[in-house]
């Protein structure tokens, strides 16, 4: 089950529950015609079970017709996350070199 939690200031958590336990979430921030995906998290023991995919599908359906573009930032070494985002047609539009102490940041976007 996925529940929406309004965080104020145009931010929303989409929380994934299994047996009444929070096991993952996506945080979004709405800015005019863009949805910024600011956090994607799934508890370690529940990873690779499709939870992040279900959460992404949920937010894409929620915003369909309302927002034009999704944007996010991800570490360039986070292959699992990058592969997830590519399933939803995200493309790299910019690389922030040495953004993190040990990694670059990829800026990705997808259009509805």
Q: Judge whether 27 and 13 are in contact, CB under 8 Å.
A: yes
Q: For the chain, list the domains and their CATH numbers.
A: 2-111 (3.40.630.30)
Give the largest CA-CA distance in the chain: 41
Q: Which residues contact 112 (CB under 8 A, 6 or more apart)?
A: 60, 63, 64, 65, 67, 68, 69, 70
Residue 28: what pLDDT? 97
pLDDT, tens digit only, all 112 positions of the chain: 999 999 999 999 999 999 999 999 999 999 988 999 999 999 999 999 999 999 999 999 998 877 789 999 999 999 999 999 999 999 999 999 999 999 999 999 999 8
């Amino acid at each position: 089950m996925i529940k929406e939690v309004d965080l104020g200031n145009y931010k929303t958590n989409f929380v994934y529950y299994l047996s009444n336990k929070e096991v993952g979430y996506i945080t979004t921030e709405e800015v005019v015609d863009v949805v910024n995906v600011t956090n994607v998290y799934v508890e370690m023991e529940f990873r690779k079970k499709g939870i992040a995919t279900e959460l992404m599908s949920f937010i894409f359906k929620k915003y369909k017709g309302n927002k034009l573009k999704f944007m996010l930032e991800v570490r360039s070494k986070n292959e699992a996350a990058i592969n997830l985002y590519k399933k939803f047609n995200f493309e790299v539009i910019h690389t922030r070199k040495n953004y993190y102490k040990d990694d670059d940041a990829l800026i990705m976007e997808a259009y509805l």
